[in-house]
Structure 1
Amino acid sequence: MCYFHFRNLSYNNFSGHVPSSKNFSKFPMESFMGNLMLHVYCQDSSCGHSHGTKVSISRTAVACMILGFVILLCIVLLAIYKTNQPQLPEKASDKPVQGPPKLVVLQMDMAVHTYEDIMRLTENLSEKYIIGYGASSTVYRCDLKSGKAIAVKRLYSQYNHSLREFETELETIGSIRHRNLVSLHGFSLSPHGNLLFYDYMENGSLWDLLHGPSKKVKLDWDTRLRIAVGAAQGLAYLHHDCNPRIVHRDVKSSNILLDGSFEAHLSDFGIAKCVPAAKSHASTYVLGTIGYIDPEYARTSRLNEKSDVYSFGVVLLELLTGRKAVDNESNLHQLILSKADDDTVMEAVDPEVSVTCTDMNLVRKAFQLALLCTKRHPADRPTMHEVARVLLSLLPPAAKPPASKAAAASAAAGDYTRFLATAADLRRGGVADDDTGDNSSSDEQWFVRFGEVISKHTLS
């Protein structure tokens, strides 16, 4: 038989129950330390009790282990929660540019250029290259390596709507071509702001020539009429030849640019809208420029191409009078309406027009067309195809632009004055307004209708 004499069994990872035999009962409690799963019974004073009890060390250790596990689990869950939280947007000024800026070329004249070339040629868009300002942009001149000049339009990045305007210009003018629309040569996204590259127009905007501080160039009657024809043909292309049709929404003299030959080019398509055929667009906000906004569009927020027709009518009044659309509290359209009522409209003609026009009857007809474009009800206004035909008929034969759809239509109509001579004896019966932009009425019918309208004294 074997006997144990006070053996030290501590820290052996024993488990189970220690027998309550005489030999084990004589072992001191220190002999069982470190065996967390071992249960020891004792029956003498060494346990501090007169009856058997479990060693309390094992329970404390297990509790500590559980508590530690719970704390560790909480830390892990907290880390996972923070990782899945959405990142707060950084300030634009602190956000690093992702890679070098890229120049996207749309026309071959810029094919050999890079973004760095444009920055070098303009000295990082230095102020000395500025040629104009817009509500949310600055325009710079840049002379390419070939010697050709282009205009660089920089949209201000601090405005929330700048990106929307940038995308709209790309979607509209970036996908169409016409001799009376500015041509987009390329674009770039850069830390200087989004850049658009357009044709450079030597003679600036129509607003500059009519109302600018210098007025270096005097515009005679023939030049003004050719400008009106070009702008009308550009709008007619947007309304009738694009699918979906495009409503410019900001037709005004400052958005009509003039090249070296004073040919008109519509610009600034930042708020243009593509509208499906035979439909109007309901706008949340009325966009445009005070003095040019169609009152019916402002009242109903319903947008169609007739809103552009109204704005063009105001531009035509500017060309005829040399006055601003809005000057202090004076409204040009209302002024001409009041003069039309008492037959004194010719008193408002710009002196430069009076001394250069050999047939003032043509000026009167242009006034009447402008008032027809600005009729209160959109259904009473002509389409831009019709407007372009009338204006073309007023040009002398030598000044007519090269053959185009509008020019061919005008030629088919015959001599404009011949229709006016008999218009007072004809009835309007059956000639419907064209709201959808569908050119269904014949040219002859349109000229007869126009002659009847302008033969009346009341043009409002």
Structure 2
Amino acid sequence: MMKTHMIKLVLGLASATLLVILMLFIFFYRKRRVRNGREDVEDTDLKDGDEAEMEDLITFYGGEDLTISDILDAPGEVIGKSNFGTLYKALMQQSNKLRLLRFLRPVCSARGEEFGEVIRLLGCVRHPNLVPLLGFYAGPRGEKLLVHPFYRHGNLAEFIRDGNGESHKWANIYSISIGIAKGLEHLHTGMHKPIIHGNIKSRNILLDRNYQAFISDFGLHLLLNATAGQEMLEASAAEGYRAPELIKMKDASEESDIYSFGVILLELLSGKEPINQDPTPDEDFYLPNFMRNAVLGHRIADIFHPGILVSNMHDGRREVTEESILKFFRLAMSCCSPSPSLRPNIKQVIWKLEDIGK
């Protein structure tokens, strides 16, 4: 009888120990998937029966210090969301560097060998006015994560509309414009094959402390499937950046990129948003149309922010003339031509900007 009780006691203790071990395993497994409140919601898109993929990390120039554990354990803060993924600001523990992490939902990502080829292509793109891809992580359940540098001074949309006066200084307007143009030139002409951005807008232009411009998200549409790419295009249209001839994202072109760039130039010049949510009877919904009507109505004061002339006085002299401002305006409007064939190419844009800057 005593032996029977001892056996039951030992079996009970063993069962309890196994239960504790099992609970600890589940706890640490869940902890790995939930990082400081950042649950990989994207991996829930994996359907039952789908095969798990190999976990992998590819690093590019500038991202050699990245590791899988450092990426997954980094404390993160959500700074943006879209239908196809989530954007985080994260602090890498090993290097103590802030990075921008973009999770792509597996259900929205393109599949096959072409995806890997695009990643390797984007990882090789380097230019002083382009946000580089530092690394790419692929998780076992289809998670995909792009790693970029983090720019502390925000994006161009915030800069234009924060009202601090710096956005009205001609030196900043010109520097940002020529920086975007040079970055776009590298995408269109500096590679073996042109890379179409496909989603140029002021929120995708990041700034450093000296107001130098860095184009982000170039080629991102190439990593998405057709449905997600179309949703990106529809969002661009709703924000006022889509070229009128562009119906499907797969048809995005150098000319449609130029149109979106022209809208940004008009934003910089006028301080207005691309879409007027509450137009008066005399105003138009879209910024390029508003500007055309302003010219036809001889409302020259409407085409640029008055602070541009006021903020550019030095020793009693203006650092920019109305002639230069009007040349800048004409360039912006030519980029926004309804006809793609009438828009300048990016090299012509740079020539004209350099002439304005003389």
Determine if the TM-score, normalized by the shorter chain, exceeds 0.5.
yes
| Amino acid corresponding to residue 207 of structure 1 in structure 2 | A
Alignment of 1:142 onto 2:90: yes
Q: CA offset at residue 250 of structure 1?
A: 1.4
Matches within 5 A, 1:82-97: 92=46, 94=48
Residue in 2 that maps onto 1:369: 331
Residue in 2 that maps onto 1:262: 211
Tell me, yes or no, if the aligned pair for 1:172 and 1:272 is still in contact at 8 Å: no
**Structure 1 pair 298–169 and aligned structure 2 pair: CA distance change class (3 A):** same
Distance between the aligned counterparts of 1:162 and 1:299, measured in 2? 16
Residue in 1 that maps onto 2:57: 103
| Amino acid corresponding to residue 121 of structure 1 in structure 2 | A
Q: CA offset at residue 303 of structure 1?
A: 4.5
Q: CA offset at residue 302 of structure 1?
A: 5.4
Alignment of 1:225 onto 2:157: no
Tell me, yes or no, if the aligned pair for 2:46 and 2:142 is still in contact at 8 Å: no
1:204 to 154, 166, 181: 154
| Amino acid corresponding to residue 362 of structure 1 in structure 2 | S
Instruction: Classify the secondary structure of the residue corresponding to 1:226.
Output: helix
Tell me, yes or no, if the aligned pair for 1:103 and 1:188 is still in contact at 8 Å: yes
Q: CA offset at residue 231 of structure 1?
A: 0.6
Q: CA offset at residue 151 of structure 1?
A: 1.0
**Would you say how many aligned residue pairs link Structure 1 and Structure 2?**
288
Q: CA offset at residue 345 of structure 1?
A: 3.2
User: What is the root-mean-square deviation of aligned Cα atoms in Å?
Assistant: 3.2
2:342 to 380, 390, 399: 380
Instruction: Classify the secondary structure of the residue corresponding to 1:376.
Output: coil
**Structure 1 pair 205–300 and aligned structure 2 pair: CA distance change class (3 A):** closer
Structure 2: tracts of 5 or more residues without a match = 1-43, 224-228, 279-284, 313-317
Q: CA offset at residue 354 of structure 1?
A: 3.4
Tell me, yes or no, if the aligned pair for 2:53 and 2:142 is still in contact at 8 Å: no
Residue in 1 that maps onto 2:78: 130
| Amino acid corresponding to residue 370 of structure 1 in structure 2 | A
Tell me, yes or no, if the aligned pair for 2:131 and 2:216 is still in contact at 8 Å: yes
**Structure 1 pair 169–229 and aligned structure 2 pair: CA distance change class (3 A):** farther
Q: Give the number of the structure with larger relative contact order, counting CA–CA contacts within 8 Å between residues 6 or more apart.
A: 2
Residues 52-80 of structure 1, C-alpha deviation per residue, up to 9 Å, x if partnerless? xxxxxxxxxxxxxxxxxxxxxxxxxxxxx
Tell me, yes or no, if the aligned pair for 1:249 and 1:308 is still in contact at 8 Å: yes
Distance between the aligned counterparts of 1:193 and 1:287, measured in 2? 20
Tell me, yes or no, if the aligned pair for 1:168 and 1:270 is still in contact at 8 Å: no
Q: CA offset at residue 172 of structure 1?
A: 4.3
Instruction: Classify the secondary structure of the residue corresponding to 1:195.
Output: strand
**Structure 1 pair 259–97 and aligned structure 2 pair: CA distance change class (3 A):** farther
Tell me, yes or no, if the aligned pair for 1:230 and 1:263 is still in contact at 8 Å: yes
Structure 1: tracts of 5 or more residues without a match = 1-89, 274-283, 396-414, 416-460
Distance between the aligned counterparts of 1:267 and 1:100, measured in 2? 28
Alignment of 1:338 onto 2:287: no
Distance between the aligned counterparts of 1:217 and 1:148, measured in 2? 30
| Amino acid corresponding to residue 118 of structure 1 in structure 2 | I
Tell me, yes or no, if the aligned pair for 1:231 and 1:264 is still in contact at 8 Å: yes
Q: CA offset at residue 335 of structure 1?
A: 0.2
| Amino acid corresponding to residue 334 of structure 1 in structure 2 | N
